[in-house]
Amino acid sequence: MTYIGRFAPSPTGPLHAGSLVAALASWLDARAHGGTWLVRIENVDTPRCVPDADTGILAQLAALGMAPDAPPTWQSRRGDRYEAALAQLRRGGWAYPCVCSRSDIAAALARAGVPQVAHVERVYPGTCRPPTMASTDVAPAVPWRRTPAWRLRTRTPAGEDIVIAWHDRLLGPQRQDVTQAVGDFVLKRADGLWAYQLAVVVDDAAQGITDVVRGEDLADNTARQIHLQRTLGLPTPRYLHTPL
């Protein structure tokens, strides 16, 4: 069986006990399968990145005997790949521009009577979502009132919810109604930064990742990533989420 795994730290500081568990789990799983193990530095969220944390992380891994089987990659060098994926989603009508500010979203949700729950990410009310899946890879008819973010539709072309069922090698069967739980999520922020969801899906596919082994705190992202893989026509890897 082909096995390509990866550890994909965000360079926001040194690896802590939790991230080392994820690193060790992905390394051990790759070794146990006679597979390849890669390291990808996920530095797209530049304001959260700490200078030199990437070299520190690679040194920590090397000190523990976890050497990747190929040179590490940096997401900051892969913007053209993310742009190409976004263009594909725009052509297919899956991605659309959103000019809502945080307060626009809060006001729209308040008007719709949706209560605000502390620390819970709010579901985008769909204010900017075009009524049809026509290509959005065209110049806007009226200039945008501000630089847009780009969101991914979480409805089927027939308007149904996107319900993703997937299997986790440790947690067992999983299921999420992405439309209700998350809503149309951001692929590229208005400030030009790429969202984790898009970058991780494009890179896992580009690197031929067959097995994602990562911390359980990320399990909740998996359904979104599978929806994105399907809209981009990319394969879905196997998943294993480790206890924190």
Q: Interface residues with ligand GLU (CB under 6 A)?
A: 8-10, 42, 200, 214, 218
Phi, psi of 85 (to 5 degrees): -65, -40
Residue 122: alpha-carbon gap to chain centroid: 17
Please say whether the beta carbons of 41 and 53 come within 8 A: no
Shortest Å, Cβ 82 to ligand GLU = 15
Please say whether the beta carbons of 151 and 128 come within 8 A: yes
- Give the H or E element holding residue 96: strand 95-98
User: At residue 149, what is the residue type?
Assistant: A
What is residue 161's DSSP assignment? B
Shortest Å, Cβ 209 to ligand GLU = 10
Q: Nearer to ligand GLU by C-beta: 95 or 213?
A: 213
Please say whether the beta carbons of 154 and 184 come within 8 A: yes
Shortest Å, Cβ 244 to ligand GLU = 12
Shortest Å, Cβ 152 to ligand GLU = 17
Report the SS3 class of residue 80.
helix
* 165 beta partners: 175
* Tokens 């027939």 belong to residue: 158
Q: Nearer to ligand GLU by C-beta: 127 or 207?
A: 207
Q: Nearer to ligand GLU by C-beta: 10 or 136?
A: 10
**What angle is formed at CA 204 by the lines to CA 200 and CA 208, rounded to 5 degrees?**
170
Q: Nearer to ligand GLU by C-beta: 179 or 221?
A: 221
Shortest Å, Cβ 204 to ligand GLU = 8
Q: Nearer to ligand GLU by C-beta: 10 or 229?
A: 10
Tokens of 104: 């626009």
Q: Nearer to ligand GLU by C-beta: 193 or 218?
A: 218
How crowded is residue 123: how many other Cβ atoms within 10 Å of its Cβ? Answer: 17
Shortest Å, Cβ 49 to ligand GLU = 11
